[in-house]
Amino acid sequence: MPEPIESKEAVTPSNTSKPEVGLTGRKIIYDKDGKPCRSCNSLLDFQFATGGIKGIGATKKEKYNPYPKDIPADVEVLGKSSWTLLHSIAAKYPEKPDTKRQQDLKQFLTLFGSFYPCWFCGEDFEKYIKKHEPKVETQDSFGKWLCEAHNEVNVKLGKPKFDCNLWKKRWKDGWEEDP
Interface with a second copy by CB under 8 A: which residues?
Answer: 1-4, 29, 31-32, 37-43, 46, 63-64, 66-78, 80-82, 84-85, 87-89, 91-93, 104-105, 107-108, 111-112, 114-121, 124, 153, 156-158, 169-175
Task: Give the nearest distance from C-beta 29 to a second copy in angstroms.
Answer: 6
What span, in angstroms and rounded, lies between the C-alpha atoms of 170 and 162? Answer: 10
Tell me how far, at minimum, the Cβ of 27 lies from a second copy, in Å: 10
User: Cβ neighbours of residue 107 under 8 Å, at least 6 residues apart?
Assistant: none
DSSP string, 27-60: BPPB-TTSSB-TTTS-HHHHHHHTT---S--GGG
Least separation in angstroms between residue 140's CB and a second copy is 16
Neighbours of 108 (CB within 10 A): 14
Contact 162, 154 (CB under 8 A): yes
Pick 13 or 22: Cβ nearer a second copy: 22
Smaller CB distance to a second copy: residue 46 or 145? 46
**CB of residue 127 to a second copy, shortest distance in Å:** 12
Question: What percent of the residues of the chain are helix, what percent strand, and what percent coil, each to the nearest 5?
Answer: 50, 5, 45
- Closest to a second copy by CB, 16 vs 32, is 32
CB of residue 9 to a second copy, shortest distance in Å: 19
Q: Which is nearer to a second copy, 53 or 89 (CB)?
A: 89
> In terms of CB distance, is 133 or 175 closer to a second copy?
175
State the amino acid at position 31 in one-letter form: D
**Residue 144 Cβ, how far from a second copy at the closest point, in Å?**
16
Q: Map residue 93 onto helix, strand or coil.
A: coil
Compare residues 4 and 179 and give the one whose CB is closer to a second copy: 4
Asked if 126 and 109 touch (Cβ cutoff 8 Å), the reply is no
